[in-house]
Amino acid sequence: MLLDLRTIYFIVAVSCFVLGILQLAAYATGRFERWPLWWGLSNLLVGLGSFLVALRNLVPYSVSVDGGNVVTIAGYMLMFFAVRVFAGRALSQRTFWFAIFLVSVPVVLIVSNPSAVSARLLNISVICCLCDLAVAREAIGIARREKLYSAALLVGLYLCTAMIFAVRSILAVTGEIGGPDPFGGSVVHSWIAVSAVAFIMLRSMAMVLMAAERSRNQLMELAHHDPLTGALNRGGLAQHVPALASQPVSLLIIDIDHFKQLNDRHGHAAGDDILRLFASVSRGIMRSGDLLARQGGDEFLAVLKNVSGEDAVAIAERIRLDFAPPSCITQI
């Protein structure tokens, strides 16, 4: 059955409008960072662009095609901006909008002939393919830095859409899609548009999953770590203990001499600085796989994996010497 391409564009527009409104509503709750704002605006622009393109031959060409394609490109590039914001690597807004302007100019001017549909489809497909690859690259970085499994899902989805746009580019070059009327009778073009609806929904769901997974990881981090020193708390140490059963460990039980007198004399702020400094000195000496936990007050536990008793004593002595009073006074 031949799918009506104009109808599909309207479906894409409605889907994007709904997603955009939901994401802006999520941002308005104040429970998220700024990425839902940009992602919501992205979907609204893509929806508006798709709606305008669907009005081809019904409204002036400059509005439906030129305007629709420029708005779609702006929305599509805004997806990349939203993922950058999510990753904490936001671009300058002025630079970003200038880039959108530069990319949109050729689409309007170079291929402004109404009969040059294939050339226009090629330009837009290449731009969207590159945007998808850029988003996939950002998602790979998020997955590596934050260990978000849902980021891998986002990578897969954007690689799939990048492949779809690459195929669309090839078909436009060969003349398989395009012609004077893109709504004419291309089954391939219709099915490519249908796939866009599914991937738009899935990509938005993947972003929500990433946000939920990040929130969970942050809550786990707060629940298992001492907020002052960053060392494990009792719950965090208990979480790691089962993994130590299969290997020899050495345990250092540490407290800071005369900490109460220092705290009383110089105030709690100075005491907090001392605790943070001790944790920093200890982590600088201990290996990456060792564990440092604060048991309360000035009491710490250091769990050293796969070290002999002599080596454990040597590490304890290094911590003591590096945290000697002259060093503490200098660094505070």
246-280 residue pLDDT tens = 778 888 888 888 888 887 888 888 888 888 888 98
50 shares its domain with 126: yes
242 shares its domain with 297: yes
Q: What pLDDT is stored for residue 40 in this prediction?
A: 93
223, 255, 287: which is the final residue of a domain? 223
209 shares its domain with 241: no
Q: What pLDDT is stored for residue 242 in this prediction?
A: 79
Kindly report, residue by residue over 26-45, the tens digit of the pLDDT.
899 888 888 999 999 999 99
Q: What pLDDT is stored for residue 196 in this prediction?
A: 78
Q: State the residue range of the domain holding 243.
A: 234-331
Q: What pLDDT is stored for residue 248 in this prediction?
A: 83
Q: What pLDDT is stored for residue 180 in this prediction?
A: 57
194 shares its domain with 245: no
- Indicate whether 228 belongs to any domain: no
Those residues of the chain that have pLDDT short of 50 are 1, 326, 329-332
Q: What pLDDT is stored for residue 330 in this prediction?
A: 46
- Indicate whether 153 belongs to any domain: yes
238 shares its domain with 158: no
- Indicate whether 18 belongs to any domain: yes
- Indicate whether 258 belongs to any domain: yes
180 shares its domain with 67: yes
297 shares its domain with 158: no
200 shares its domain with 278: no
27 shares its domain with 158: yes
- Indicate whether 31 belongs to any domain: yes
Q: What pLDDT is stored for residue 153 in this prediction?
A: 93
**What is the domain-level CATH number for residue 327?**
3.30.70.270
- Indicate whether 32 belongs to any domain: yes
Q: What pLDDT is stored for residue 47 in this prediction?
A: 93
CA end-to-end span of the chain: 75
**What is the domain-level CATH number for residue 35?**
1.20.1070
313 shares its domain with 258: yes
Q: How far apart are CA 227 and CA 249, in angstroms?
A: 26
- Indicate whether 63 belongs to any domain: yes
157 shares its domain with 275: no
Q: For the chain, how many structural domains are there in total?
A: 2
180, 199, 223: which is the final residue of a domain? 223
- Indicate whether 229 belongs to any domain: no
Q: What pLDDT is stored for residue 58 in this prediction?
A: 87
181 shares its domain with 309: no
170, 192, 223: which is the final residue of a domain? 223
